[in-house]
Amino acid sequence: MTISPANQKNWELLEQNDPAVYNAIRGEEKREMEGIELIPSENYTYPEVFAANGSVLTNKYAEGYPGKRYYGGQEFTDIVESLAIERAKKVFRCDHANVQPLSGSPMNQAVYLAFLKPGDTVLGMDLSHGGHLTHGHPVSHMGKIFNFVRYKTHPEKQGWIDPEEIMALALEHKPKIILCGYTSYPRDLDYSIFRKAADAVGAITMADVAHIGGLIAGGVMRNPFDYGFDIVTTTTHKSLRGPRGGMILCKEEFAKAIDKSVFPGLQGGPHMQTIASIAVTLEKALQPEFKEYTAQILKNAKALAETLMAGGAKLITDGTDNHMMVVDTTLSFGVGGTEAEVALDKAGITTNKQVIPDDPNPPLKPSGIRLGTPAATTRGFKEAEMKQIGEWMLDALKHHSDDAYLAGIKVKVVEMCLKYPVPGVSA
């Protein structure tokens, strides 16, 4: 019996029967091997995750929870989901874990729908200051259902959040949930600020740590549960290096409402191949090597940030405390975020365009770019490589309209990348 269905025969069948998809996958493999991935929400997963995610578990419906399923034949699905739950509780030091959310948006929606009624208030971070669409931006469905009040960061104070502002907003608006967490904020959080405000108004504390979940698991960034938080949500890819999925972690008193909100409230059958992959990922996160890896992510981020700033790049927080940074390319190089993203792509360096605090430009043509170090660190890059990448980025942004010059940088990028294999992809 073959253990993994993702064997050579399956690839041959795909190539024969759907060459368009086959060639696209092979093209993506080449792109990943030859380019530098700096989008902070992306990473290279483990080879073992590829095996679990392409397994026969994709065939199985498993509505419900371990021991309480609606279909038969669940002896093995119960094993993998129970493993994922127990490992999540151990990694994040929490009472309860729901590992069924299909991604980051559903996990946050499940929390809101578990504890709020339409029109209830949530205090969360403003999108342009680092918050996420699911934190109540008006274009999101949740933003239409619930009343989101937004706090901002203070760029003039290196991007720090003002505890007095958080308390004042909480006392004024009496939110049911006080939410912290971010998608483009290069600082760690002082969770005690939010806990104190929540206690003052009787609110639930919720932290969305989707970006930094791996860094918390590795012990290199603060854990909200150490500050008495009620609920923590995180995706399972990004810095955690797992498959695309989500988890809701909480105190025991919130467990029943959250489980009911995920299923049957929001979702049907969970993706058991993903849950098996999450279990694999969490076992990896419990190993000493993962702590070393997450520490290196932060070292690499600081090396890259220092190189960029020394070369004249304006970082919105004048540095970074985590894996990411946001560069105001308009101020630094006279080039908008979209144009900067395209120029760096041509040089073989992948980033994403990004709004800056109170950006005067629209989201599709923002003033900056966002970048991070998890994927590069997974590949084996260390401080010396990050400094070189920073120099290439500065060079590319200064010559953003010169395609021939950018192509010359890409040759050097490919040469370096081929020395560092992509896990599970490179030969």
Pairwise CA distance, residues 409 & 35, whole Å: 11
Highest mean pLDDT among 132-136, 159-163, 404-408: 404-408
Q: Taking a C-beta distance cutoff of 8 angstroms, is the pair 52, 271 a contact?
A: no
Residues in contact with 285: Cβ distance below 8 Å, sequence separation at least 6, in sequence order = 87, 91, 214, 217, 218, 240
- Specify whether the CB–CB gap between 267 and 100 falls below 8 A: yes
Look at residue 2 and tell me whether its pLDDT is greater than 70: no
Q: Which two tokens stand for residue 414?
A: 């490919």
For 99-158, how does the pLDDT look when each residue is reduced to its tens digit (9 = 90+)? 999 999 999 999 999 999 999 999 999 888 888 888 877 888 988 999 999 999 988 877
Burial class for 150, CB neighbours closer than 10 Å (0-12, 13-18, 19+): middle
pLDDT at 5 (0 to 100): 47
Q: Span 256-280, mean pLDDT? A: 97
Contact present, 425 and 378 (Cβ < 8 Å): no
The structure tokens 């509505």 sit at: 63
Which residues are known catalytic residues?
61, 63, 208, 235, 238, 244
Cα–Cα distance for residue pair 336/349, rounded to 1 Å:
16
**Per the omega criterion (within 30 degrees of 0), is the bond before 264 cis?**
yes
* Interval 168-192 mean pLDDT: 95
User: In angstroms, rounded to a whole number, what is the distance separating the alpha carbons of residues 269 and 101?
Assistant: 10
- Average per-residue pLDDT for the chain: 95
SS3 category, 6? coil
- Architecture, CATH, for domain 56-285: 3-Layer(aba) Sandwich (3.40)
Lowest mean pLDDT among 38-42, 138-142, 161-165, 207-211: 138-142
Q: Computed from CA positions of residues 299, 377, 83, 208, in that sequence, does the dihedral angle turn out positive or negative?
A: positive
Provide CATH code, domain 291-417.
3.90.1150.10
For the chain, which residues make up each domain, given as ranges? 56-285, 291-417
Q: What is the 8-class DSSP label of residue 315?
A: B
Specify the 3-state DSSP secondary structure of 375.
helix
Q: What is the pLDDT of residue 3?
A: 39
